[in-house]
Structure 1
Amino acid sequence: MSDPVTATAPARTSRRARQPRGDLAPFRTFHLIFYLIMGIGSASAIGAYVWVLNASLKTNTDFIGTSPFALTATWSFGNFAEAWRSAGVATYFGNSLLVGVGATALGVGLSVLAAYPLARIRFRGSAIILAVFVSGLMVPWMVTFIPLYLTLQDFGLLDTQLGLILVYATYNLPFNIFVMVGFMKTLPRELEEAAAVDGAGPAATFVRVIVPLLGPGMASITIISFLNNWNEFFYALVFISTPERMTLPVGLWQLNQAATYGSQWVTLFAAMMITVLPVLIVFAFLQKHITRGLTAGSLK
């Protein structure tokens, strides 16, 4: 009679041989399909940027007289200088930078102050307050611009950069608070207990102990808020009417109207590249912070 242990040994050995070595998961068919879909999407996005760059380096005569997909033979880098000076992109760029940085700093600061008591201090009604903040994510912007317009008009902030900064800062608050609350809940409470033993009050504990640990979370909401503020078009179009105070998205819309009726297409494409490049550079260098900050609250 054969030993059961000996009889099952080859089967176990064959199963071990079929298992993948190391930490790599076995390659399956749906992996290939997923990679193909992602590759097609990436190629389409990169192709769009390459097409805009190619069009921005043409002359108006070449752009109108040749195929839209024909490679440029002129390399007119002066289009960027023309868009920056004559088309007013420098003014739009400065306005967007001022509004984007100001709204991002104000929104991130307020979200951190609001998230700390919701995540670290136990009190009755904290879950309800957090739910009220998060419900702001479900409010469509179409139903808010009329009350905001009337409010800014009453306070004398209509057609001002300060009013746009306040609107952008509050617009990003629900998402920022939601992310920071999840991030702060991952921090061990022993840190605050040790600070209390050393005699630190709640304010000192928050500034000296909690804030230095919020780097990944604050980096993620800072980048996302700035990108949202940089690309926002509708509120800037409704609340700003003076050309000298318009932001880049509204300025590009003005340039699009000029290109439609004046055939200044290469100036428009050059302005689009000037607008997109800072966003691409920031996201390329800081995308790891975005991923780490957003996923830090998923595990505890």
Structure 2
Amino acid sequence: MIAAALFVGFPVYVLVNLALRPTSDTSSPIAPTASPTLDNFTQAWQQGALGGALANSVLVTVCSVAVVLAVSSLAAYPLARVTARWSRGAYLLVLLGLVLPFQLASLPLYQTMRDLGLLGTPWALVLFYSGLQVPFTVFLYTGFLRALPRDFEDAALIDGCTPLQSFRYVVLPMLKPVTVTALVLNAVAVWNDFFTVWQMTGDATIVRDNWPAMVRYLDWIRQETGDTYAGQGSLTGDWLAPQKTSAQLMSDVYYGYVARLMAQMALAIGRPSEGEAYKELFGRIRQAFITKYLGTEGGRVTVKSSLGDASPTEPGADPNQKTEDNSQTALLWVLKLGFYETEAQRRTLVGLLADNIGNDAAYKAAHPNSSRVRYAENTLSVGFLGVNVLAPVLSDEGRTDLAYKLLHQDALPSWLFSVKNGATTVWERWNSYSQDDGFGPVSMNSFNHYAYGAIMEWMYAYMAGIARDPDHPGFKRFLLQPHIDPTGRITQVSSTYESPYGEIRSEWTVDDAGRTLAYEAAVPPNSEATLHLPSASADSVREGRTPLSRVDGVRFLDHTDGVSSYRLPSGRYRMTAHLR
């Protein structure tokens, strides 16, 4: 027991020791602090503006918990005491709130808060948390009430109490144990939530409030790696990828990616000078990456993704499998971040990526030691850090044909491999289970995991074509960029998105001969869209018999590489375009 206590208490000791240590003390974190100080807490409180944040958290938590306890206890009383059929049906309806994920109600709730004028206020969160926590709390109260004898209530009713008085003076005092339990559980759930604040308000406050912490994180990486401009290292890397990539390369990539995000966020919260500094940092990281990883020896471009080991902690991994140059994930991130020097190099990198995905006999013959030789043609080979950029980068680089081929593929590794083997959820591994081989490595094998579901983002933003405009957050201005299926297997797509301004619609159909595209779009009030529509020529894009460029309010931008571009004001559009 002593050993267990030391094992659990040691991290707490280190945490407290470092919190009380002055910044000038650079000794070992294990050694006791010689001059303990509270200056770190004072500085954090002032720089993070924690006073206002604490007040908001207290207000939201207290009000939410009070509403939940009051509503739930009153609702549970008749559900527990009344035996009529309606009571059982009502109770099952309440329990349904425990089964359905809250994300189903996110968009309707957002619209409701917007219509009530509550966006950006604590009361939006109070209403949200109250509704979210009531089903679980009713469940607690109902179970507890059913276990209480009715004798005291019957005696109170005989003495002349109304049901409400009986509940207030007799039942409520007996509910103290379950009330304390419900209070603690609800208070912790409301206090610790982070995601919903951003989801329900849609403003940059969450960025502004957490800016000091993000700055410290980037400063810490710089302190650890200095002028090498390398990442701090990674234990996980491109987790569960069939083709292994250096974990250090992935750390370096994400250092650059985060620096670029910081530059964008700095502008969003009115910190232009810091934005320029992070933009410069991104440039230095980019150049260091190119120098280390982008080989051009002998006129051949190579991304040296074999420089370093893959994750040393991945359960079930083959200990003998080596990292490889030009891995899919490395090529994708190099293209996404522009970690190359010339357009010729970019074209070569796209070709290397296409060859890796294609994985035909010639590729396998040229790479006999690659892990790719075990897999079929037109298969992916990415893990957690490659899957989210795989299809978007392919489309951005003009290879939507490969994105669709991967989408349709059902051989391992692919999205439809799991479906073919009975999946109804997204799996953690590409090979979590197969009818031929059974379960994958059982030491870590989830059948309900988020990561590989990232393909849905591409299906919305590229297949359907509803995408955010990076320069105009919040869908005040957005993109409509449908990408039709070059394989011809998908000929109709319909999608909607509830933006803060109303419903966005994008729907397309290709005729059997693949010659004509019918496209419908809806741009909500007080917003506008930039449309990029596949077409043989700008003149062939028409609304009815009228060229789209002549429709009132529509502005023609250009026609390049088989795509016509327009600026659309709010309204509904129904158009056709010749594809060839």
Give the TM bin, normalised by the shorter chain.
0.5 to 0.7
The one-letter code matched in structure 2 to 1:50 is Y
* 1:149-193: CA deviation from partner (whole Å, max 9, x where unpaired): 222112111111011111111111111000000111122111121
Deviation of residue 69 (structure 1)? 4.8
Runs (5+) with no aligned partner, structure 1: 1-34, 265-300
Q: Which moved more, 1:234-243 or 1:177-186?
A: 234-243
Higher RCO (C-alpha 8 Å, min separation 6)? 1
Task: Pick one of 39, 43, 59 that aligns with 1:82.
Answer: 43
The one-letter code matched in structure 1 to 2:154 is E
Find out whether 1:117 has 2:74 as its counterpart.
Answer: no
The question of whether the paired residues in 2 share the 8 Å contact of 1:236 and 1:250 is answered with no
* 1:182-227: CA deviation from partner (whole Å, max 9, x where unpaired): 1111221111211111111111111111111111111110111111
Q: In structure 2, what is the Cα distance between the partners aligned to 1:52 and 1:127?
A: 50
Q: In structure 2, what is the Cα distance between the partners aligned to 1:120 and 1:250?
A: 50
Matches within 5 A, 1:195-234: 195-234=156-195
Partner SS for 1:125: helix
Matches within 5 A, 1:134-173: 134-173=95-134
- The 1:149–1:187 alpha-carbon spacing in structure 2 relative to 1, beyond 3 Å, is same
Task: Pick one of 210, 213, 219 that aligns with 1:256.
Answer: 213
Q: In structure 2, what is the Cα distance between the partners aligned to 1:49 and 1:231?
A: 20
Q: In structure 2, what is the Cα distance between the partners aligned to 1:167 and 1:112?
A: 18
- The 1:49–1:104 alpha-carbon spacing in structure 2 relative to 1, beyond 3 Å, is farther
Deviation of residue 147 (structure 1)? 2.6
1:97 corresponding residue in structure 2: 58
The question of whether the paired residues in 2 share the 8 Å contact of 1:233 and 1:250 is answered with no
TM-score normalised by L of structure 1: 0.65
- The 1:50–1:90 alpha-carbon spacing in structure 2 relative to 1, beyond 3 Å, is farther
Q: In structure 1, what is the Cα distance between the partners aligned to 2:81 and 2:200?
A: 38
- The 1:148–1:225 alpha-carbon spacing in structure 2 relative to 1, beyond 3 Å, is same
Q: In structure 2, what is the Cα distance between the partners aligned to 1:124 and 1:78?
A: 63
The question of whether the paired residues in 2 share the 8 Å contact of 1:59 and 1:74 is answered with yes
The question of whether the paired residues in 2 share the 8 Å contact of 1:180 and 1:217 is answered with yes
- The 1:102–1:78 alpha-carbon spacing in structure 2 relative to 1, beyond 3 Å, is same
Q: In structure 1, what is the Cα distance between the partners aligned to 2:67 and 2:148?
A: 24
* 1:39-81: CA deviation from partner (whole Å, max 9, x where unpaired): 85x766544433332222233454xx55555543342211112
2:89 corresponding residue in structure 1: 128
The one-letter code matched in structure 2 to 1:223 is V
The question of whether the paired residues in 2 share the 8 Å contact of 1:102 and 1:165 is answered with yes
1:55 corresponding residue in structure 2: 18
Q: In structure 2, what is the Cα distance between the partners aligned to 1:183 and 1:131?
A: 17
Q: In structure 1, what is the Cα distance between the partners aligned to 2:80 and 2:117?
A: 36
RMSD, matched Cα:
2.8
Q: In structure 2, what is the Cα distance between the partners aligned to 1:170 and 1:45?
A: 37
- The 1:89–1:184 alpha-carbon spacing in structure 2 relative to 1, beyond 3 Å, is same
The question of whether the paired residues in 1 share the 8 Å contact of 2:20 and 2:40 is answered with yes
Partner SS for 1:144: helix
Partner SS for 2:53: helix
Alignment length (residue pairs)? 220
Higher strand share: 2
The one-letter code matched in structure 1 to 2:137 is N
Higher radius of gyration, 1 or 2 = 2
* 1:233-258: CA deviation from partner (whole Å, max 9, x where unpaired): 11112224364xx6xx994x444213
- The 1:235–1:46 alpha-carbon spacing in structure 2 relative to 1, beyond 3 Å, is farther
Q: In structure 2, what is the Cα distance between the partners aligned to 1:233 and 1:74?
A: 35
Q: In structure 2, what is the Cα distance between the partners aligned to 1:221 and 1:242?
A: 33
Higher helix share: 1
2:355 corresponding residue in structure 1: none
Q: In structure 2, what is the Cα distance between the partners aligned to 1:103 and 1:250?
A: 25
Q: In structure 1, what is the Cα distance between the partners aligned to 2:77 and 2:6?
A: 42
The question of whether the paired residues in 2 share the 8 Å contact of 1:145 and 1:235 is answered with no
TM-score normalised by L of structure 2: 0.35
